[in-house]
Structure 1
Amino acid sequence: ELIRASLAVVEPVADRATAHFYALLFLHHPELRSLFPAAMDVQRDRLFRALLAAVHGVDDPAALRTRLGALGRGHRRYGVLTGHYAQVGECLLGALARYAGGRWDAATELAWRRAYRLVSTLMIEAAEEAARTSPPWWQGEVVRHERRTPDVAVITVRPDQAYPFRAGQYCGLETPWWPRVWRHYSFASAPRPDGLLTFHVKAVQAGWVSNALVHRAAPGDVLRLGPAAGTMTVDHTAGADLLCLAGGTGIAPVRALVEEAAAYGVPGRRVEVFYGARRAAELYALDGPDGLRELVGRHPWLTVRPVLSGTGPAGDALTGELPEVVGRFGPWAGREAVLSGPPAMVRRGVGVLLRSGVPAERIRHDLVGEPAAG
């Protein structure tokens, strides 16, 4: 409660508080500046979001441990060492003390120190465990770059060594054009015998990494990949039918899950995919030699329903906002569900599924730490 009360005071001035934190950090520990990107705007936002997520997650220790473990493993790619956590903690407390005003006293400071010790310990333990079995990052050569729409590219990468992951997960990517700037992208295929990894990338306005990947990357370029993360994985042996909601490039992890279901799913288990976009041309993953329609032709247990929310010809697609269209086909009791796409769509979709009979524990998405598209 002390931490939440002090954060409530800091939140309206979060920009100043985080700027002060980084000023303290780089003033007292200038050697750490090289671990951060040249432009700090996005990094500042991420710090406060991470703080809020940790504070709001204390009521669910298991989920907090999972989240912080992934964060600790992911920070290895920046070159973060165990000794850095204490330096960061002191500067963080200094910034909070300055901007929490009357809410900062000895009891609040002690609460923050205890909380930060817990957070850093969980992250350090996860990082040290990961270091025993995997590198902090992988080098990945672009071997294929296919433009599916003017602003969407499908990129295939060959990692320099074995890369462990599950369908439904994502990883951080760094390009040679924006050092130390990482963005998260989901795997668009299940693990393959040849070890290749596929990503769907949409160039977004002012998105440094996404624009570089879509408009500049080419075969032969080398990217860096962080470790796989995310909890949107599915036990295909469980037997419950699977319902998937995918908007835009959110189809990438859903397509990977379909591949995984084909390889490991139990007989009789059905998979139903609702794939949404504004216009028909944006449903880039429907057709082609590796498209969803081709998969439907091979797997009778798979159903794919395209959904269009904008104006223009709809063809055989359903029309309307994706979550509401899914709701019209319910109830969905007994299903397991995954959602991937724009955050607003995922949040609305979760509400629709809950009202349609899907228990909360059977709904998976990765809005926590939302994979960035920038």
Structure 2
Amino acid sequence: MDSLTTSLVRSSFKSVGASPGGENAFARAFYAVLFASNPEIRQHFPAAMDDQRDRLMHAIGYVIDQLDTPGEVLPLLAQLGRDHRKYGVTDDHYNAVADALITALANLTGTELWTDETERAWRDAIALIVATMTDAANAEQGPPTWVGTVINHHRVLDDLAIVRLQLDQTMPYVPGQYVSVQVPTRPRMWRYLSFATPPRPDRIVEFHVRRVSGGWVSPAITTDTRIGDTWLIGSPLGGLGVSRRPGRRRLMIAEGTGIAPLRAQLLDMPRLDDTPRTHVFVGGTYPCDLYDLDILWGLSRTCPWLTVVPVIENSDNPWWVSGNTQNPAGMHDLLTGQLGRVVATYGDWTDHDIQVVGSPSMVRATKYQLMAAGVDSADICHDPLY
């Protein structure tokens, strides 16, 4: 895509964000146009659209930011195309979405900025996105969804559960990737969860789920999941663990349940011919948030290439937490402080492949602190939609 097209798309989208109501107004306008013109599409979306609108704007914003780096954005679009098969999406649906986007953008941008040239730029960009997604979807031979049956549900903390499921078919995913899931008590509400284990011959997968206050799906998973429940699971997404440069050491940084995709890779790494020297920093607000330390410590005891460093912001657990949450005997001492700052000052992380997983604010802060310490931003990897 040429630089003029990219510039026109970015400038017009930026003007939408600066208009009254900003990106939220655009998302509302887009879905209003889409559902008014194609009422049959509404059935594919949840009744509550707030999260859906947020994900739409997040995805569009990321794609626009990466238009001039096709090596970054095209693989993601291909993954999304394969994942969207779960909705039963057709070419007509893609065309309807494209028309609704153009209409919403034209209405909010205004006549001064929305010129014929701007519309052509957007149509070219959308055509590239649609072609990439549909080509990947049409080429995919696997099922549009997998069915996972819950075989174990363990409440590690009041607000955190580890769930194991057995898939009905083998899923070819890479450790570090994530999937969209739909649970029976929340139809049409898809949520993203990372695999905490690598692929297994018995097709058992594991997810770590923390309850989000005010959320629709995570409370249902942590509290209401029962053995025998069946989940629908979409195609694998994400770039963590997909590629690694030979000979490079690794730094992995996780906050809370962000340890899941890193743990999946760690469990898979012993089979590699050139297992790299790896430091893992796992952080939380309280000691109880480091719920997976026993597994990580056990792995580090048998893998001389692995060092695990626990980090907490507060040395004491909140009063409502009961039980033993002390470090396993012999493990690295608990470090206290803000995770990104602790990691950045711990050592020299240049010439490392670095993965960061956690909340958006944690990822941004950690990335900034590593870059301030001399790390090249190209060496820092995190999933844009995680």
Q: Same fold, TM exceeding 0.5?
A: yes
In 2, Cα distance between the equivalents of 1:164 and 1:319? 39
SS of residue paired to 1:213: helix
Aligned with residue 284 of structure 1, among 284, 291, 296? 291
- 1:240 deviates by 2.2
Is 1:338 the counterpart of 2:355 in the alignment?
Answer: yes
In 2, Cα distance between the equivalents of 1:294 and 1:327? 25
2:85 equivalent in structure 1: 76
Is 1:199 the counterpart of 2:212 in the alignment?
Answer: no
Is 1:305 the counterpart of 2:309 in the alignment?
Answer: yes
In 2, Cα distance between the equivalents of 1:236 and 1:354? 20
The alignment yields a C-alpha RMSD, in angstroms, of: 1.8
Number of residue-to-residue matches in the alignment: 363
* Alpha carbons of structure 1 residues 94 and 321: separation in structure 2 relative to 1, 3 Å: same
- 1:333 deviates by 2.4
2:240 equivalent in structure 1: 232
- 1:265 deviates by 4.7
1:105 equivalent in structure 2: 115
SS of residue paired to 1:276: strand
In 1, Cα distance between the equivalents of 2:307 and 2:15? 50
1:90 equivalent in structure 2: 99
Is 1:174 the counterpart of 2:182 in the alignment?
Answer: yes
8 Å CA contact 2:315–2:336 kept in 1: the answer is no
- 1:112 deviates by 1.4
2:14 equivalent in structure 1: 8
- 1:195 deviates by 1.6
* Alpha carbons of structure 1 residues 112 and 211: separation in structure 2 relative to 1, 3 Å: same
SS of residue paired to 1:179: coil
TM-score, normalised to structure 1's length? Answer: 0.92
Cα shift readout 1:4-37 (whole Å, capped 9, x = no counterpart):
2222222133333322222222222111111111
- 1:134 deviates by 0.7
Structure 1 segment 250-329 matched on structure 2, within 5 A: 250-266=258-274, 269-287=276-294, 291-312=295-316, 316-329=333-346
8 Å CA contact 1:139–1:223 kept in 2: the answer is yes
In 2, Cα distance between the equivalents of 1:237 and 1:219? 41
SS of residue paired to 1:157: strand
8 Å CA contact 2:252–2:356 kept in 1: the answer is yes
In 1, Cα distance between the equivalents of 2:311 and 2:99? 50
SS of residue paired to 1:156: strand
Cα shift readout 1:85-139 (whole Å, capped 9, x = no counterpart):
1111112211111111131122222221121111111111111112xx1111111
8 Å CA contact 1:276–1:308 kept in 2: the answer is yes
8 Å CA contact 1:236–1:264 kept in 2: the answer is no
In 2, Cα distance between the equivalents of 1:286 and 1:178? 31
- 1:190 deviates by 1.3
8 Å CA contact 2:284–2:313 kept in 1: the answer is yes
8 Å CA contact 2:277–2:305 kept in 1: the answer is yes
SS of residue paired to 1:103: coil
Is 1:120 the counterpart of 2:130 in the alignment?
Answer: yes
2:320 equivalent in structure 1: none
2:4 equivalent in structure 1: none
Is 1:43 the counterpart of 2:52 in the alignment?
Answer: yes
In 2, Cα distance between the equivalents of 1:90 and 1:80? 15
1:159 equivalent in structure 2: 167
* Alpha carbons of structure 1 residues 238 and 312: separation in structure 2 relative to 1, 3 Å: same
8 Å CA contact 1:37–1:181 kept in 2: the answer is yes
8 Å CA contact 1:78–1:180 kept in 2: the answer is no
* Alpha carbons of structure 1 residues 338 and 265: separation in structure 2 relative to 1, 3 Å: farther
- 1:199 deviates by 0.6
8 Å CA contact 1:236–1:265 kept in 2: the answer is no
8 Å CA contact 2:244–2:353 kept in 1: the answer is no
8 Å CA contact 1:270–1:301 kept in 2: the answer is yes
Is 1:139 the counterpart of 2:147 in the alignment?
Answer: yes
Cα shift readout 1:32-78 (whole Å, capped 9, x = no counterpart):
11111111122122222222222211111121211211221121112
TM-score, normalised to structure 2's length? Answer: 0.89
Cα shift readout 1:258-317 (whole Å, capped 9, x = no counterpart):
1111222525x3221111111111110012xxx111112222222111111124278630
2:251 equivalent in structure 1: 243
Q: Which runs of 5+ in 1 are unaligned?
A: none
SS of residue paired to 2:231: strand
In 2, Cα distance between the equivalents of 1:272 and 1:54? 31
Aligned with residue 30 of structure 2, among 21, 35, 46? 21
8 Å CA contact 2:254–2:262 kept in 1: the answer is yes
Is 1:361 the counterpart of 2:370 in the alignment?
Answer: no
8 Å CA contact 1:236–1:261 kept in 2: the answer is no
* Alpha carbons of structure 1 residues 252 and 7: separation in structure 2 relative to 1, 3 Å: same
* Alpha carbons of structure 1 residues 237 and 16: separation in structure 2 relative to 1, 3 Å: closer
- 1:234 deviates by 5.5
SS of residue paired to 1:208: coil
SS of residue paired to 2:63: helix
8 Å CA contact 1:35–1:80 kept in 2: the answer is no
Identity %: 39
Amino acid of the structure 2 residue aligned with 1:90: D
- 1:160 deviates by 0.6
